[in-house]
A = this chain, B = another copy of it.
Amino acid sequence: MKWLTDEEQSAWRAFLHATTLLEDHLDRQLQRDAGIPHMYYALLSTLSETPGRSMRMTELAEQTKITRSRLSHAVARLEGNGWVRRENCPTDRRGQVCVLTDEGFAEVERTAPGHVTAVRAAIFDRLSPEQTRQLEEISRVIAEGLHHPASADVPWQR
């Protein structure tokens, strides 16, 4: 059993603290300004940057790294707000396309500046360009490792 070195332990603690505080902070900021959690905003934002402002459910779940179940619940809620609507997928009758409404797009436009400011203030105004590059690379490595988890590629488990 290989434990964490002192350096790793201390880095892990710092990382946990940073991510816990950041999530909490952004959730609060967006809950206050838009009435939705951060992840819901990320859905709207992702759709707003997509050609056609729409995406298949599974594709949207993959891009935002959340489960389909979570996405279904979230989209149901956002649909209630009138910020998103579902349409049948023309090429696959199992599929649903999640479409950002004009109201949803307007909501992103309205709240984006405040959100970006919060992200800047919490992160990029505090990091050097070099650190920003480092953070991106480190994040890529971690995400890469989790996106193709070993266990999911073991044939005999399926």
Contacts and interface: CB of A to CB of B under 8 A. Distances in A.
Contacts of A143: 14, 17-18, 21
Contact of A142 (B4, B10, B18): B18
A109 to B, nearest CB: 12
Interface in A45-72: 64-67
A94 interface: no
Given A65-B17, A66-B20, A138-B135, A145 B122 contact: yes
Copies of this polypeptide in the complex: 2
A86 interface: no
Nearest to A134: B134
A135 to B, nearest CB: 5
Given A4-B116, A4-B119, A126 B139 contact: no
Nearest to A10: B136
Nearest to A17: B143
B3 A116 contact: yes
A20 to B, nearest CB: 4
Contact of A126 (B64, B142, B147): B142
Interface in A20-46: 20-25, 39, 42
